Amino acid sequence: MKLVYFSYPYTDNPKQRTEEIKNFVQTVLAKHNNIVPLIPHLMFDSLYNYPDGYNNPQILVLELETIKRCDFLVFDPDNVSSGVLWEVAFAKWLGKPVKTFEEVLENGVKG
């Protein structure tokens, strides 16, 4: 089992973006059963009760600490935001493998 951080835009439309990433991860899980997904939209909003569109540097600290513990980070290069760019940069800086949505949907995560 691999712990996978799913990075996706959020602030421009929190409710819609959360549904989009949830639906994508459910599609991945239907094809690949070796993934334990971490979706920051669901984790941090439900635990910390941030208002929609909340943007604070403390979230970056939480994201960095979460990415540290993951085996992979996955993102959609055709759908990025400044937050996604930060998360990808964190993962690369930490030496974590970074994969695209397409790669994970087709091949899962290995390694």
Specify the number of domains making up the chain. 1
The parent domain of residue 13 ranges over 2-107
Cβ–Cβ < 8 Å for 109, 72: yes
For the record, the structure tokens of 83 come out as 């937050």
| Domain CATH for 59 | 3.40.50.450
Share of the chain above pLDDT 90, in %: 65
Which pLDDT does position 43 carry in this prediction? 77
Residue 10 has pLDDT above 90, yes or no: no
pTM confidence score? 0.89
